[in-house]
Structure 1
Amino acid sequence: MEEIQAITAVHHPVRRRIVDYLGLYGASQVTTLARALDQQVGSISHHLRMLERAGVVERADAPNSDKRTSWWKPARRSFTWSAEDFGDSPSDALLAREAERVNIATQLDRLKAWHRSKPQRPDPEWSRAAFSTDTLTWATAEELTALSEALRDTLDAWRAGIDTGDDAVRRPVFVFAHGFPTTP
């Protein structure tokens, strides 16, 4: 089970962007993060310390051994949790539900931004490559858990199989899927 501190730390909007940036680009300087995320250096430093306390990021050695600069890297790659994990603590369950709400809003905001960008997309290849998929079927809780694990394994294998050593043009890609009980 995830610690509630890690869950709440990651679901602050600026901290989520920091975690996403470090996940994509690897170890980075505070000034690089501030510039890339259009934030003040002091604000980025504050958020990095919060993420460090939660075990989400850690200090990294400067590639050039320059001790005057502050470098950070992800301490972990993913988070798996449910608000139901915190049923024994009403306050933690409330925080987990709020983090869930913020996470879903972040995911949907990214999807909406992609759809709003359609008129400005210079490369139709990216529009054809993007996808949406869903299904409606019957499943047990165990079968839904197995699907979740299979999707996570598939995404991990897909990400690990990307050859970043070639000259192909790559862009950050956001993939998300939800599976949950519903009614038709």
Structure 2
Amino acid sequence: MEDITVITAISHPLRRRIIDRLLLHGPTQVGTFARMLDAQVGSISHHLRMLQKAGVVEQVDDPSGDRRTSWWQLTRRSFTWSSEDFESPSDALLAREAQRANVRNQLDRLQRWYRVSAASEWEGFNTDTVAWATQDELLDLQARVGRMLDEWSSGIDREDGQERTPVYFFAHGFPTEV
């Protein structure tokens, strides 16, 4: 179960973009975040400290050895929670709102893709299915998809000279009516 401080820390839109940037590019300097995310250095530093307090990022040494710059990296790659994990009504409410914010983020990304997809050389995909499952079987699916995504993303050789673009993948599994 995620701690509620982690959930609230990662739910902020700018912090989510910082996490995504670190997932794609690895350790990053504060000034680079500010330029890429069109934000002030002070704002980026504040949000990094909030993520650090939640144990999501950590400060690391500048790769060049320059001690005047502030570099950060992720301490973990994924987050999973359910509002049912929390006994406290206020924490359950925060977790539900974080789930809603996460779904809004996912749908916003999907809508942006559909707006530009006709002009893109890339083809996206969608997939879905309906099946019978127990709660444990659904949790097993979640674990398998997570392992598959970790294996897939860690197996990409970013130094092989091929041109790549960031790719976003999301999936949901939940009980439904048919």
Bucket of the pairwise TM-score, normalised by the shorter protein: over 0.9
Structure 2 Cα separation of the partners of residues 13 and 146 of structure 1: 29
Deviation by residue 1:6-36 (Cα, 9 ceiling, x = unmatched): 1110010000000110111011111100100
Deviation by residue 1:87-128 (Cα, 9 ceiling, x = unmatched): x1111000000000000000110010000012432x2xx12x
Aligned length: 178
Is 1:118 equivalent to 2:112 in the alignment? no
Q: What runs of 5+ residues in structure 2 fail to find an aligned partner?
A: none
Q: Give 1:72's aligned residue.
A: 72
Q: Give 1:47's aligned residue.
A: 47
Secondary structure of residue in 2 paired with 1:58:
strand
Secondary structure of residue in 2 paired with 1:117:
helix
Secondary structure of residue in 2 paired with 1:72:
strand
Report deviation, 1:131. 0.9
Is 1:102 equivalent to 2:93 in the alignment? no
CA RMSD of superposed structures (Å): 0.9
Give the structure-2-normalised TM-score: 0.97
Secondary structure of residue in 1 paired with 2:164:
coil
Structure 2 Cα separation of the partners of residues 153 and 45 of structure 1: 32
Match for residue 161 of structure 2 among 143, 159, 167: 167
* Equivalent residue letter for 1:131: F
Q: Give 1:150's aligned residue.
A: 144
Structure 1 Cα separation of the partners of residues 145 and 174 of structure 2: 14
Structure 2 Cα separation of the partners of residues 153 and 71 of structure 1: 28
Q: Give 1:12's aligned residue.
A: 12
Structure 1 Cα separation of the partners of residues 117 and 103 of structure 2: 22
Secondary structure of residue in 1 paired with 2:142:
helix
Secondary structure of residue in 2 paired with 1:112:
helix
Is 1:21 equivalent to 2:21 in the alignment? yes
Bigger mean CA offset, 92-101 vs 72-81: 72-81
Deviation by residue 1:54-104 (Cα, 9 ceiling, x = unmatched): 001110110111111111111111112111111x11110000000000000
Structure 1 Cα separation of the partners of residues 154 and 65 of structure 2: 28
Bigger mean CA offset, 75-84 vs 2-11: 75-84
Structure 2 Cα separation of the partners of residues 165 and 4 of structure 1: 37
Question: Percent same amino acid among aligned pairs?
Answer: 60
Give the structure-1-normalised TM-score: 0.94
Report deviation, 1:163. 1.4
Structure 2 Cα separation of the partners of residues 179 and 118 of structure 1: 25
Q: Give 1:57's aligned residue.
A: 57
Q: What runs of 5+ residues in structure 1 fail to find an aligned partner?
A: none
Moved beyond 2 Å, runs of 4+: none
